[in-house]
Amino acid sequence: MIRLKDIDRLLIVSTLLLVATGVVMVWSTSYIFAMKRYGDEYFFVKKHLTFAVGGIILFIIAARIPYTMYRKMVYPILFLAAAFLVCIYVPRLGFSAGGARRWVRLGPVAFQPSEPAKLAVVVFLAYSLAAKADKIKTFAIGFLPNVLIPGVIIGLILLEPDLGTAVTLALIVGLMVFIGGVRFRYLLALGAAALPLIYVVIHNFGYMMDRITVFLDPWKDPEGKGFQMVQSFLAVGSGGIHGVGLGEGKQKLFYLPEAHTDFIFSVIGEELGLIGIGFVIFFYLVFLYCGVKIALKARDLYGTYLALGLTFMVVLQAAVNMAVVLGLLPPKGLPLPFISYGGTSLAVNLIAVGIMLNICIKENEA
């Protein structure tokens, strides 16, 4: 039986193994592209290593800050997250990349506000669900504020447009309020009311409809709209059980778009095979186990909801990314946590692990 004091070690080990896997695979998937575009095969991996080191420093800092402090700062954190999402539309601050306006630049630092916004929503819901636990079954107090306030953040993310992150965050909110005890019929009614809105959004943004069409039949246009999905299937399928070998994959040779970001899991399947995929999934399952264990043993209800929300934030996104790569969900443009290239996602997820570790430390002190 794994004891509570061993959970923090398991959490750290699983996280660092995922980060290390990310560093290796970012190099393997990007070195040819980096050489062609920048004349330096280590261009992306050097930046990713910098992100990883910075993220680990933030992880250590977060692990030392008492998690109860976030409860006192919940509304400033939420306001700041919303303000950064609005800054996307401010000239000279917000800018577009990959066809969507999702980035903010503050001096030399560029980041995606949607990533810290997810963290802010989890912190708010943990606080709100714990504070209103005795009235959680009521509509006006237990349900409405816990969906309306996160709904504003989700709406701002949807306007970027970023349907993938918005839907993922909505699922995290749904899981948290359901576990918190909100009446299930309220959630069903909300889901039914949201369907027309989702339909309108998908039809107003043509690329979203294209993604659904591609999901239903990627082979209908294998050299056009279905190209990325088809190449992903070829990558995973050609890896077999053992893979073709690290660095030996062919799909990253300008066949598979976003090979070092959203579709890095495809290259893991090609180069490391079913065994490599199995290990990555196993690390996420260990992470899930640790997160749930920490939540169940937390010394207060706020810590329980916070640990669960942070666990969902990582594991649910990982599950969605892998499902997309394997053709089980429409393409959504979500990175694979700890592994995909990208500084904002890596930093926010490592901060989340630091907070979880602090909850675990406080449990052991109790």
333: left (phi over 0), alpha (psi -120 to 50) or beta: left
DSSP calls for 4-42: HHHHHHHHHHHHHHHHHHHHHHHHHHHHHHHHHHHS-TT
| C-alpha count within 13 angstroms, C-beta hemisphere, residue 226 | 15
Domain enclosing residue 337, as ranges: 4-365
Tens-digit pLDDT profile for residues 2-22: 455 667 889 999 999 999 999
Tens-digit pLDDT profile for residues 65-108: 999 999 999 999 999 999 999 999 888 888 776 666 788 988 78
Residue 215, burial from CB neighbour count under 10 angstroms (0-12, 13-18, 19+): middle
pLDDT of residue 308: 97
Paired residues of 105 in beta bridges:
110
Helix axes 343-365, 301-325, angle to 10 degrees: 140
The structure's pTM equals 0.93
pLDDT of residue 206: 63
pLDDT of residue 92: 83
Q: Percentages helix, strand, coil for the chain, rounded to the nearest 5?
A: 70, 5, 25
Residue 165, burial from CB neighbour count under 10 angstroms (0-12, 13-18, 19+): buried
Q: Domain count for the chain, please give it.
A: 1
Tens-digit pLDDT profile for residues 170-199: 999 999 999 999 999 999 999 888 888 777
Nearest-angstrom CA–CA distance, 306 and 284: 18
List of the chain residues with pLDDT < 50: 1-2
Paired residues of 109 in beta bridges:
106
SS3 (DSSP) at 348: helix
3: left (phi over 0), alpha (psi -120 to 50) or beta: beta
Tokens at residue 322, please? 């892998």
Nearest-angstrom CA–CA distance, 89 and 162: 14
Is the dihedral angle over the CA atoms 196, 201, 206, 210 positive or is it negative? Answer: negative
